[in-house]
Structure 1
Amino acid sequence: MNTNKVKELVHYLDQFPQCSIAVSGGIDSMLLAYIAHQHSTTKVKMVHAYSPAVPVSALERVKAHTKQYGWDMLVIDAKEFDDKNYINNPVNRCYYCKSNLYIRIGEHTQGAIFSGTNMDDLGDVRPGLAAAVEQNVQHPYVEVGINKQQIYAIAKFYNLSQLHSLPGQPCLASRVETGIKIKSDDMLFIDHMEEKVRELLPSFKKIRCRISHQGIFIELDQLPEASISEKLSEQLRHFCAEQNRIFSGLKVYQKGSAFLNGITHG
Structure 2
Amino acid sequence: MTAQEKYDDLKEYLRGLGSVAVAFSGGVDSTFLLKTAHDVLGDNCIAVTARSASFPKRELDEALDFCKKEGIRHFVVDSEELMIPGFSHNPTNRCYLCKHELFTEIFELSEKNGIKAVAEGSNMDDNGDYRPGLMAVAELGIKSPLRHAKLYKKEIRQLSKELALPTWNKQSFACLSSRFVYGEEITVPKLGMVEKAEQLLLDLGFHQVRVRIHGENLARIEVDESELKKVLLNRKKITEALKSYGFTYVTMDLTGYRTGSMNETLSDETLSEKVSAE
Question: Same fold, TM exceeding 0.5?
Answer: yes
Does residue 151 of structure 2 align to residue 151 of structure 1? no
Q: Percent identity?
A: 27
Deviation sequence 1:177-233 (CA, Å, 0-9, x none): 111111122222111111111222x1x33211110137111111127576x544533
Instruction: Give per-residue Cα distances to partners, 1:50-109, cap 9 Å, x unaligned.
Output: 111112221111111111110010000123221132111011111111111101111211
Q: 2:224 corresponds to which residue?
A: 221
Match of 1:164 in 2: 168
- 1:207 is aligned with what amino acid? V
List alignment gaps of at least 5 residues for structure 1.
none
| 2:183 counterpart of 1:179 | yes
Partner of 1:7: 8
| Kept in 1: contact 2:20–2:118 (CA 8 A) | yes
User: Whole-Å Cα distance in 2 between the matches of residues 125 and 90 of structure 1?
Assistant: 13
1:175-214 mapped onto 2 (5 Å cutoff): 175-200=179-204, 202=205, 204-213=206-215
8 A contact 2:214–2:220 mirrored in 1 = yes
Moved more, 249-258 or 16-25: 249-258
Match of 1:240 in 2: 242
1:87: which partner in 2?
A: 88
Aligned to 1:47: 48
Unaligned runs of 5+ in 2: 272-278
Letter in 2 for 1:15: G
What is the RMSD computed on CA atoms of the aligned residues? 2.0
Runs of 4 or more, structure 1, over 3 Å off, are: 223-226, 228-231
Letter in 2 for 1:118: N
Residue 24 of structure 2 is matched in structure 1 by 23
Q: Which residue of 1 aligns with 2:276?
A: none
Q: Bigger CA drift: 82-91 or 248-257?
A: 248-257
Cα distance in 1 between the residues matched to 2:243 and 2:194 = 14
Instruction: Give 1:39 shift.
Output: 2.6
Counterpart AA for 1:222: E
Contact persistence 2:19–2:41 (CA under 8 A): no
1:42 positional shift: 7.5
Please give the residue correspondences for 1:50-69 in structure 2 after superposition, counting only pairs within 5 Å: 50-69=51-70
Query: What is the distance in 1 between the residues matched to 2:177 and 2:228?
Result: 29
Aligned-pair CA distance for 1:248? 3.0
User: C-alpha distance in 1, partners of 2:232/2:123?
Assistant: 39
Contact 2:24 2:48 in 1 (8 A): yes
Partners of 1:62 and 1:224 in 2: CA distance: 27
Aligned residues: 260
Whether the 8 Å CA contact 2:50–2:77 is kept in 1: the answer is: yes
Partner of 1:113: 118
Q: TM-score, normalised by structure 2?
A: 0.87
Aligned partner of 2:251: which letter?
A: G
